[in-house]
Amino acid sequence: MESVEWKIVGEPVGYDGAVRAMEARVAAIRAGEARELAWLVEHPPLYTRGTSADTADLVEPARFPVHETGRGGRYTYHGPGQRVAYVMLNLRGAGRQPDLRRFVRDLEDWLIDTIADFGITAFRRDGRVGVWVEHPSRGEAKIGALGVRVRHWVTYHGVSLNIEPDLAHYGGIVPCGIPDYAVTSLVDLGLPVTMAEVDARLLVHFEARFGATVAAPGADISQTLVRHDA
């Protein structure tokens, strides 16, 4: 198995540009012209609408741009302080299994193991998509989201983990269509961690589950797309 390219982008990446870049990379992976890729970004504040979204869950349509997306799931929020990891793997490649349920579970476990390194127990809940923690005053709260798509067994989209986003920005939607639970972040839970610290642990646990990585060479795949979409 070839090492997976690992790329972290330091500037906000516009959502539509990110999707175009992912689709191009997925096609190249499928054609054998590019390595698999884990692409870590932040987005400017925005909402995305998944394939199962209910319009009633968009509480404030004019608050932030709303982007249609081909990933599964409902409405979610992306913005500064949230690590988004787009994972492009060939599940029919050497050393992998064409099992989408297992892949989703591996993504969940990747986040759960990362969060555990900061002394927080995270978990999954049947019937509630995502990764959850126990908040000291608000009960069970969501800290990580998942939304994946597969094209010819090459995955894209991926996961998000709340490190220090503005949690008030979730007020414009019903996050993932689940109205009765709060959203939280590592900093909201009292952990003064940085994005770089979390990225370092994400890398360790990614390699444990998905294989060795190598730093992506040269210019980022998004080059001119590392900006806010117009």
Which of the residues are catalytic?
176
Closest C-alpha to 44, from 18, 5, 74, 71: 18
Q: How many Cα atoms sit within 13 Å of 148 on the Cβ side?
A: 25
- Kindly state the tokens that stand for 63: 């608050």
CA 45 to chain centroid, in Å, comes to 14
Residues 42 and 83: beta-carbon distance below 8 Å: yes
